[in-house]
């Protein structure tokens, strides 16, 4: 998943820039060897300071500070990830977040 920032320049052309990157996770016990991000809900706070999104497959909610360069502030598990046959899922690669 690669949400992008879009803006129209003075010349009338649209430009895009990568804003937030959500990596695929290496897992065991799932349909594929890697679990892609699946962002289903996106919300910007009323004061335009934070972006929130839910990652449906992984079962988490993330908060990004978007006042300057976007960076992850918090991530919380909302539900267990979707797994094949109701078996347990082993995440082999962790999300390395720089909170701040």
Q: Does residue 16 belong to any structural domain of this protein? A: no
- Residue scoring higher pLDDT (23 or 99): 23
Sequence-ordered list of residues with C-beta below 8 angstroms from that of 29, at least 6 positions apart, any chain = 83, 84, 87, 88, 89, 90
**Domain assignment of residue 52, yes or no:** yes
- At 10-31, the pLDDT tens digits run 888 887 777 788 888 888 877 8
- C-alpha distance from residue 42 to each of 53, 58, 59, 92 (Å): 4, 15, 14, 27
Number of domains forming the structure of the chain: 1
Neighbours of 27 (CB within 10 A): 19
d(CA 51, CA 63): 6
**Which of 38-42, 60-64, 69-73, 88-92 is least confident?**
88-92
For residue 3, is it within any domain? no
Is there a domain that residue 7 lies in? no
pLDDT of residue 99: 40
Q: Please give the model's pTM, rounded to 2 decimal places.
A: 0.63
Range of the domain at 86: 22-91
């Amino acid at each position: 998943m690669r949400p992008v920032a879009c803006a129209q320049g003075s010349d009338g052309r649209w430009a895009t820039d990568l804003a937030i990157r959500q990596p695929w996770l290496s897992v065991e016990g799932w349909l594929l060897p890697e679990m892609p991000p699946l962002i289903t809900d996106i919300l910007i706070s009323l004061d335009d300071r934070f972006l929130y999104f839910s990652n449906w497959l992984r079962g988490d909610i993330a908060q990004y500070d978007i006042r300057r360069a976007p960076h992850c502030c918090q991530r919380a598990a909302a539900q267990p990830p979707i797994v094949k046959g109701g078996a347990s899922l082993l995440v082999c690669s962790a999300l390395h977040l720089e909170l701040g």
